[in-house]
Chain A
């Protein structure tokens, strides 16, 4: 498969410590079109991305993962990408899995491929599985799409999908909104299993989100409130 028109989109906020390593690991898999959207970081994320050879874009003000991802997808569209793949920029997604997401689109079997942590993944904490399931049901309730990992940021979009989805939600709930748009546009969705790399860095960063913590629950409630608001106020 020709990787020339595959663009990798990394929304990043204060990932200066790891972004270079993440970019290198993606380049090692043969993907050289890497767009980093620095979402108003106060560290050296932008400079590190440029020095690693990525196309770095900067949000002057922090707007959230949803806004940064959409900016990256817009950039991929402008650069005439055939496929755009979004990954988390903290290194928790394995670049070796990119090929699994890209292949169904290249073969014309799907328009959007979701990397699912819930398919065949063993060793995931039960509390995390429960949180994921709640997220899936919330997505189903609001957007009528039932998938195994609605909050996964590891996704691949075909050119047709890039033209069809455009999130207006700036924060984490954009993953659910995009699934609704994918359904409305009648795009073909496929889920493939992915592995999550739990490094010390990502575990520390998400220590509040890993378990069924008060913080995690609070973030979940905030997400539901924003989804309700977005349903009422467009």
Chain B
């Protein structure tokens, strides 16, 4: 019960205002804001009424559906982390390339003039 209350307070005091602030800064689109808010509300509902997960599990034919939920969440987090790493790597390389092009601009233009 204490954990459920703490998580709920955390979501209401920190997560939702943070989402709204991101929306105001135009980091999130209205659609993204709606999806994130719905996800967090769904999470809160599942925390307060965990037997609902069993209903979902039953529809997929899994006995202890909380286990399946945790496994899927772990796989998703690993995948999301990997995708982010790839993206960050790509952005980092792009920044270096751009930096280099700007740095070499003068030499390139001098080279073209010489030709």
Contact = CB atoms under 8 A, between A and B. Distances in A.
Nearest to B90: A233
A59 B92 contact: no
A168 interface: yes
The interface centre, meaning the residue of B92, B93, B103, B108 with most chain A CB atoms within 10 A of its CB, is B103
Contacts, number: 46
Nearest to B100: A71
A59 B107 contact: no
Judged by DSSP, the binding face of A is: mixed
Interface of B: 85-86, 89, 92-93, 95-96, 99-100, 102-104, 106-108, 111
Interface in A93-131: none
Interface of A: 37, 55, 57-61, 63, 67, 70-71, 74-75, 78-79, 168, 170, 229, 233
Given A60-B102, A63-B99, A75 B107 contact: yes
Given A57-B107, A58-B102, A78-B111, 10 more contacts: A59-B100, A59-B103, A60-B103, A63-B96, A63-B99, A71-B100, A78-B104, A78-B108, A168-B93, A229-B85
B99 A60 contact: yes
A58 B92 contact: no
A63 B104 contact: no
Contact of A59 (B89, B99, B111): B99
Nearest to B92: A170
A174 to B, nearest CB: 11
Given A57-B107, A78-B107, A233 B85 contact: yes
